[in-house]
Structure formats: C-alpha cells, structure tokens
Chains A and B, each alone.
Chain A
Amino acid sequence: MRASRLFSGVAVVPALAIVLIFFLLPIAVIIVRSFTDPEPGLGQYTAALADPTTLRVLGRTFATAVITVIVCILLGYPFAYLLTLVGPTARTLLMVLVLVLVPFWTSLMARTFAWISLLQRDGPVSAILGFFGAENTTLRGTLAGVVLAIVQILLPYMILTLYTALAAIDRRQLAAAQSLGANRYRAFWQVYLPQSLPGLFAASSLVFILALGFYITPQLIGSPKEAMIAQVIGQRVEKIVDFAGAGALSGILLIATVGLFCVVILAVAPLRRGVSQMISGGDAR
C-alpha cells in the first residue's frame, strides 16, 4: 500500500511540472513585469485603477459573471435534482442526450459561431421572440445574448458539480422530516437545501471563475458595450503591445477575485457550520 502511494506520488510529478512550467511561470513573469516595467513600483496599477475604463469593465465583468451564476443555478439545480430522482438508465440518457454532455463535447468556438447565426438580426431567435410579441428584438450585441451564450457553455459545469453533491444527500431524511410533520416544501427547504449548499457553493464558484475569464463569447456575441476584462487585456496586448499594463489588469482581476472569494467564504462559513452541526448534532442526539 505504501509503495503504491509513493508510486502515485511520483506519478503526479509530470502533471505538476507541466502546470508549473506552462501555467504558473508565465503568470509569474507577467505579474513581475507589471511591477517592474517601465520602472519598479506600483505605477502600472495606479494608472490602471485611475482609468475609469478599467473599473467600469471590471465591474461589468463581475456583474456578468454573477448573472451567469444565477441563471445557471435556476436552470441547473432542478436538472441536477431530477438526475438524483430517476433510475440509472434514465440518468445516463439525460446526461448524454439532454444537453449536458453533448454540448460539453462540442467546441466552444463552434457553438459560439452557432449562437451568432441564431441571435443575429432577423435570425431564428428574433423570429421566435417576434412570435411572442417582442418584435424586432435582436439579442446579438446585448447583455442578454452574451449571458445566454455563456450560460449555455457553463451550465454543464454547474449541473455535473451539483449532481455529485446532491447524489450524496440521503433522501431518506426527507421522508423522516415528513414523518415528523413537515410538508414536502418545508422538508426540502429545511433539510435538503441546507445540505446541498456546500455543493451549490462549489458549483457556483466554478462557474463564476470560469465566467470571469470569458473572451471569445462576449467578443463575438456582444458589442463593445458588453466587453469583459479579458477583452480589454487582449486589446492592450494585441493593439497597444503593453505587456506591463495588461499584466497589471490581470493582477487586479486576480486580486479582486481572490478578495471576493475570501469575503464570500467568510460569509458562508457560519452557514456551513450550521449545516454540519445540524447533521452531526442530530446524530449525537
């Protein structure tokens, strides 16, 4: 046992080396450059933060990611819940056929281009909206169109992560709650939902972080009015060839994201403690 543990410890080294060399090292180089070019100091950061464009686009990026997470929860939670109810055959079918894994295996680019055709002026989505009375509505070049395209790409991450968490919840507790007098609604709300919160938090974090980095989708589906921070960073590198300034923007995004997560984790910590106390406390008694 010990030998094989050592073996798997060694086995992980190449993967770590790849992450270190091809991911962490370039990030470190860019961040170091943002503090040293053209002269050592915080100049790039104060310049970036003094630029109203940075703050506006950063704010919009976080807002777009939050909206994406909310829509993903509203669509993904019921779906993941349904997956825990049905039998294994139906579950496999739902996962593979119904919108989870099939789009997961299709290239992001191919799907984004498909959304351009669907959402553009006089496209199918306009026609459908027109049928329901919203005439001349073009979603391409709007926040709604961008969020729709991002949600469609990130929804599988929400559903798959959430399903793992929901599948671990013992559904007999719901029956127990009902036998103790709770109605179905209350049993779900007070027994099931709190236990699913850690999983929901993990899935939301994943979707939120992935959404923050979206580049191609808002670039192709949105107008510059929906531009997210990755596009502004890309613009700085490609058009202005300003690695240090782009590095500072990346640094600000990184710090803002980590900071936000610290706040969120601190905020949900009492909640999670409550959940575990509820469960373990119940056991003790």
Chain B
Amino acid sequence: MRKSPLVLVSVAAAAALSLAACSSGAAPDAAEGGGSLVFASYGSAYQDAQNEAFLDPWAAESGVTVQNDGPTSYPKIQQMVESGNTIWDVADTEPYFPVANCGTLVEKIDFSNIDTSNFPEGTWSDCSIPIAQYSTMMIVNTKTFDGADAPSTPADFFDLEKFPGTRMVPGWAGAGALEFALLADGVAPDKLYPLDTKRAYAKLDTIRDSLTFWNTSSESQQSMEDGSADLWLAWSGRGYEAERNGAEIAPVWQDNLLAWASLSIIKGTKNPDAAQSFIEYAAQAEPQARFAELQPYAPADLSARPELDELQQKWNVASPEVQQQSIVTNVQWWADNSAEAEAEWTAWSTS
C-alpha cells in the first residue's frame, strides 16, 4: 500500500494534464477593442501564405485579432453549428461544401461590396467566394516517358498498352477521377454533368491494377518527388512544388479540371461583422495577386496581375492558354450528389 501516494500523484497529474488539454481547445475569448476572428484552413505553407497575403494586412487595417485553426473538417463544422457553439468564423473549404450547405452550415454573404465580375463563371455562390484557382490535372513522370512519345491526353492516361506504368489518382470521388475517366472515355466536356458514374467506374476498372491513390495532396507531391508512379492525377500546386524540389515531371493541360479555394462564413459566427469584412477584403485582386506570388495558386480574380517567376508561370492555371483547356467542375452537381458519390466510391475502391 506504500505505492498509494504515488498512484494518487500520477492520477492527479493525468487529470491536470487532460484538463489543461481541454481548456486550450476551448473557444478563444473575444479580444478587447477591434474584435477577433478565427480562421480555419488546411495548414502548412498554404495557410501561412494565406496569413501573409490576406489575414495579416486585413488585421493591420481593421484592428481585429486573428487566430488560426485547422485543418478544415466538415464534421467539426456540423458539430459546432448543431451545438450552437461556432468557434470558427471563416473557413477555407472545398467549393461544393458551401453550395450544399448554404444557409444551414454556412452563412449567406452580403455581395453589395464584392465585385464578382472578374471571377470565372461558376466559381462563386451565395455563400462563398473564390480566392485562388488551381487545377486537378494530369502530370507525367518524364523519367518514364520523355519527348514526343509521352502521354498527352486523358485517353493516354487510360492506355496501358501504349503507356504501361503506375497511375496515382485522388482517393475520393469528389477530387476529379470520375470526370477525368469520363473525358478519357470520350464524353464531351459540356456533356460531363450529370456524371455517368457507372461509366466512369467501368473506365477506371480498365486500369484498376495499375492504380494507386493519394488521400492528402502532400502524398501526391511526395510520390512525384520519389518517382513512385508514372502518371498522376493531382493538383497543379503540388506539381509546382514537386518540380521546385527536383521532381522530373511535366504538366498536361488538356482537359484540366479547374477548382478553386473557397472561403465561407460559418453559420452562427460570433463575429459576423469581422467575418463579412474579411470576406470582402479577400475577394479583391490585390491580396489574391500577393497570394499567387507566395503559393502556386493563381488569383481567382482574373484582373489580378501577380509577378510570377518562370516555374510559377509554367504551372499557372490563370494563363489564357490553360484557361482555354480548362473544364470548370460543376459544384451544383457535387453539392446535390456528394454523399451518394462518396459512398459509391468507397464501395468501388475497397472491393
């Protein structure tokens, strides 16, 4: 029984630790004076650049104290809204999310001070604004395929006879693999939606044994740098970063699937004025140009003129010749069908 005090101490220490852990996760108090804003995004260099380009200058101007959190998580957002305790004020989400949950999980935005005329058609909604564009696109391992014989179309991506090798694609439905499969199968870009998912899976099944999947975009970048696949369907920004780190890869722009970073105000925000003010600031060309110089994402406002270096220019999805070959993802279809599509993907991918 001489052990008892020791047991008590360790139990008390565990209790204290867990209490400390909870309190650090609790809602931040509103800062005095200028108010506060909690911004949730996807972390790493991406969120750092969002702070440098958007949040820091806006905070300096408005006097609001900004706190960062993340990564963005839809179940977390739902829990916040359901429990009436919204901790995040503004969040970076996939484009379909605010369209699917406009007015229920995210707030309507007041567009009276926002100029949407320079955004590509279909990239903004009642509940979201785009701050940057990127593409889900085909990327070629130039160590495996070089010169004029390299694969250069979605159909080539699915041609194992001409181009044997491992293909890496996103590991969930909403990230472009279905669209890309249909384009490869000959569906015209303007006839893509509603997606014929049966046909898409049949096409994907033709290369099933050569497919690997990435679940986070950093996995896709790592794979490009390691050369652990021969073809990728991945994000332009990750292609840029991989090549900057020495990956031997080349972009294929035909039928690139245009997507965008989308900001929304979380339903029930305790700082609605600060959130609206930040959204208005982030929708402008100037901070978007600054962001494009820091991160391999093009401004969503096509009038923005960032100064890009050669490699950034190579992966720039806002350049006119790329935009001509882009296909804008139909967020309304995804907003309406995301749940079924993801369940169908899980059923297909795990079998």
Contact = CB atoms under 8 A, between A and B. Distances in A.
Given A4-B4, A53-B350, A219 B339 contact: no
Nearest to B219: A220
Contact of B75 (A11, A14, A51, A238): A238
Please classify the interface of chain B as helix (H, G, I), strand (E, B), loop, or mixed, using the class held by over half of its residues: helix
A43 to B, nearest CB: 16
B142 interface: no
A15 interface: yes
Contacts, number: 82
A227 interface: yes
A2 to B, nearest CB: 10
Contact of B11 (A5, A11, A219, A242): A11
A240 B339 contact: yes
Nearest to A9: B4
B7 A240 contact: no
B342 interface: yes
B275 to A, nearest CB: 22
Contact of B350 (A14, A15, A232, A238): A232
B226 interface: yes
Contact of A223 (B4, B7, B73, B213): B213
A225 B37 CA distance: 42
A239 interface: yes
Interface in B306-351: 338-339, 342-343, 346-347, 349-351
A235 B14 contact: no
B346 A53 contact: yes
B349 A224 contact: yes
A239 B226 CA distance: 28
A4 B346 contact: no
Interface in B126-183: 166, 171-172, 174
Contacts of B11: 11-12, 14-15
A133 interface: no
Contacts of B226: 120
A237 interface: yes
B78 interface: yes
Contacts of A1: 1
Nearest to B7: A11
B18 interface: yes
A8 B7 contact: yes
A240 B12 contact: no
Interface residues of B, number: 31
Contact of B14 (A5, A8, A14, A232): A14
A219 B215 contact: yes
Contacts of B18: 18, 22
A145 interface: no
A121 to B, nearest CB: 5
Interface in B1-36: 1, 4, 7-8, 11-12, 14-15, 18
Contacts of A76: none
A156 to B, nearest CB: 22
Nearest to A243: B75
B206 interface: no
Interface in A39-58: 51-53, 56-57
Nearest to A57: B350
Nearest to B340: A240
A224 B215 CA distance: 10
A18 B15 contact: yes
Contact of A227 (B73, B166, B350): B350
Given A51-B347, A239-B342, A121 B1 contact: no
A15 B10 CA distance: 10
A105 interface: no
Contacts of A132: none
B212 interface: yes
B350 A237 contact: no
Given A141-B212, A238-B73, A5 B347 contact: no
Interface string A185-226: 000000000000000000000000000000000010001110
Contacts of B75: 237-238, 241, 243
A168 B15 CA distance: 34
B74 interface: yes
B74 A241 contact: yes
B334 to A, nearest CB: 12
B174 to A, nearest CB: 8
B75 to A, nearest CB: 5
A131 interface: no
Contact of B1 (A8, A240, A243): A8
B1 A56 contact: no
Interface string B69-112: 00001110010000000000000000000000000000000000
Nearest to A235: B346
11 contacts: A8-B1, A56-B351, A57-B350, A121-B166, A223-B213, A224-B213, A225-B351, A232-B346, A235-B342, A238-B73, A243-B78
Interface of A: 1, 4-5, 7-8, 11-12, 14-15, 17-18, 22, 51-53, 56-57, 120-122, 141, 219, 223-225, 227, 232, 235, 237-243
Q: Which 4 A-B residue pairs are closest in the complex by CB-CB distance?
A: A224-B349, A4-B1, A11-B8, A53-B347
Given A219-B215, A223-B212, A240-B342, 18 more contacts: A14-B12, A15-B11, A15-B14, A22-B18, A51-B347, A53-B347, A53-B350, A57-B350, A122-B228, A224-B346, A224-B350, A225-B349, A225-B350, A225-B351, A227-B350, A237-B75, A240-B343, A241-B78
Interface of B: 1, 4, 7-8, 11-12, 14-15, 18, 73-75, 78, 166, 171-172, 174, 212-213, 215, 226, 228, 338-339, 342-343, 346-347, 349-351
